Amino acid sequence: MNRTIARQDISTLRERRRLLLAMALRRVQAGSGSGETFLAERRTAVVEWPDLRQILAPVPWAIADGVATRAYMPERATQDLDILVQEQSFESALDTLVAAGYVDEGALSIPGHMLRSPTAVEIDLLWSDAPWVTPALAQPQTDPAGYPVLGLPYLVLMKLASSRLQDVADVSRMLGWTDDAILDEVRRVVARYSPADKDDLESLIFLGQQERGAGV
C-alpha cells in the first residue's frame, strides 16, 4: 500500500470488503455463475488499447486493474487503461508519455496522473512504493494481446488494497478458476505482503469456486 494512504483508510477499506464478503457468503449458491467453458476458455483482447510497449520500453511497467483481468478471466468492459510503475520511475514514464503525444490532465486522487492518448483514450499512470511492486514488475505476465500485465498474485494484492465492489468481484472470479498451484502462489504472496488479508483471500477463493460449482 502506498504511504500516501492513511492507516485509517486501510482499515476502512478492509471493513467495507468484509461486509461485502459476509453478504456474499450468506447468499452464495454452487454453480450460480457463468458456464465453465465460457470462464475457463474465453481469453480475448477484443478491446484495443494503446500499445505502450515501445514507448515505455526503458521503464518497468505493467497493466493493472480492469484491463489486466482479461489475462485471467473473460474480458470485461472498462473505461480506462491503468498502468503501474515504481515510484522512482514515475516522472520518467510521465515525461516519456508526454513526449509521445499523450496529454497530462493532472493528478489523480490516488498516486498517479491521468493522461489522454492521441486518440483520446484515458490512461491512468499509477505509481507505488509498496515492496511487492519491484518483483511484480520484474516478472509480468502477458494478456491475450501480448501486453505486460501484473501477475495474478500481485493483481490480487492491488485489488485487495482497493476493495471496491468491482475489485472484490474480479478477485473472486479470477481465483475461482485458478488451479491449485497458482492459488498457492497467491496465498504465499498475500501472506508475505498483506497478512491481514489472508482470511478474506480464502473467502474470495471459496466464493469463486462456488460460482464455478467446484465446491471446496
Kindly report, residue by residue over 164-191, the tens digit of the pLDDT: 888 988 999 999 989 999 999 999 999 9
Over the Cα atoms of the chain, what is R_g? 17
Sole residue written with cell 464478503: 21
Kindly report, residue by residue over 137-170, the tens digit of the pLDDT: 999 999 999 999 999 999 999 999 887 888 988 9
Kindly report, residue by residue over 6-25, the tens digit of the pLDDT: 444 766 777 767 766 776 66
**What does the DSSP assignment read for the chain?**
--TTS-HHHHHHHHHHHHHHHHHHHHH--TT-SS-HHHHHH-----S-----TTTTTTS-EEEEHHHHGGGTS-----S-EEEEEEGGGHHHHHHHHHHTTPEEEEE-SSSEEEEE-TT--EEEEEEE--TTHHHHHHS-EE-TTS-EE--HHHHHHHHHHH--HHHHHHHHHHHHTS-HHHHHHHHHHHHHH-GGGHHHHHHHHHHHHHHHT---
Q: What is the mean pLDDT of the chain?
A: 86
Provide the whole-model pTM. Answer: 0.82
Kindly report, residue by residue over 95-117, the tens digit of the pLDDT: 999 999 999 999 999 999 999 99
